[in-house]
């Protein structure tokens, strides 16, 4: 059974009246956590796509870029997206359940936010309502303002990231301490580690942008230290 068939079954259960808590409780253990992660991106992405008043073809295409969908699963994926978009539950209900399920693994929540930002900027415009939406989701996930700034800077062209924010370090730390943090982030971003914490194989490409940003930040820190 493909992941999209399992996802369709879960979303259909929501549409038929089964509560969010019950559905997510069923998906709380591996390997079904990957289904829960995908539903989270689908549901929040579909609702966020309407935050600026319209759902564009670019935003739908971006969703398909987040998840590598095979031709045989395209129809199922489209149905899941439409089901989630029509679901009566508000986005905060989904965000609360996701925070409860993945609250012990901050990296999963950051992975999910990566996908949402990718969808938000797909049409070339980062709308204020999308910013409000994503800020609220990040708040419910407990990610903090600094993390939100880093994620936004990574995706929104006119928001230059602070390399120290990207690495989660401070200028007062020693270079060895920063290097240790950089290496830890690189390990966390490896596709095998992402799959182990519940990110489906279809979405591990989310790591590409993050890894590039981490390495770029480290290079900027090294350049700044050398210049000093």
Question: What is the rounded distance in angstroms from the CA atom of residue 213 to the CA atom of residue 162?
Answer: 11
Question: What is the rounded distance in angstroms from the CA atom of residue 144 to the CA atom of residue 140?
Answer: 9
pTM for this prediction: 0.71
For 156-193, the pLDDT digits (tens) are 877 677 888 888 888 899 999 999 999 998 888 887 77
For 140-153, the pLDDT digits (tens) are 999 988 889 888 88
Position 86 scores a pLDDT of: 67
- How sure is the predictor about 84, in pLDDT bands with cuts at 50, 70 and 90? low
DSSP state of 134: H
Burial 58-86 (b: 16+ CB within 10 A, else e): ebbebbeebbebeeebeebbeebbebbbe
* Matching residue, tokens 């409860």: 100
Cis peptide preceding 205, ω within 30 of 0: no
DSSP state of 73: G
For the chain, give every domain's residue range: 3-227
């Amino acid at each position: 059974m493909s992941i999209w068939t399992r996802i369709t079954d879960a979303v259909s259960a929501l549409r038929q009246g089964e509560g969010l808590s019950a559905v997510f409780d069923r998906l709380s253990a591996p390997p079904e956590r990957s289904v829960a992660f995908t539903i989270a991106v689908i549901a929040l992405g579909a609702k966020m796509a309407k935050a600026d008043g319209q759902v564009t073809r670019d935003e739908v295409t971006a969703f398909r870029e987040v998840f590598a969908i095979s031709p045989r699963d395209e129809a199922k994926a489209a149905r899941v997206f439409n089901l989630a978009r029509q679901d009566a539950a508000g986005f905060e209900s989904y965000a609360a359940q996701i925070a409860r399920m993945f609250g012990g693994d901050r990296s999963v929540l950051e992975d999910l936010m990566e996908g949402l930002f990718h969808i938000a900027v797909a049409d070339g415009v980062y709308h204020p309502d999308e910013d409000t939406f994503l800020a609220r989701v990040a708040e419910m996930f407990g990610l903090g303002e600094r993390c939100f700034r880093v994620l936004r800077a990574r995706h929104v062209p006119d928001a230059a990231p602070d390399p120290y924010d990207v690495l989660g370090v401070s200028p007062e730390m020693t270079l060895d301490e920063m290097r240790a943090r950089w290496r830890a982030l690189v390990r966390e971003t490896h596709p095998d580690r992402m799959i182990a914490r519940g990110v489906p194989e279809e979405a591990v490409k989310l790591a590409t942008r993050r890894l590039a940003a981490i390495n770029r930040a480290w290079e900027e820190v090294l350049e700044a230290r050398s210049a000093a």
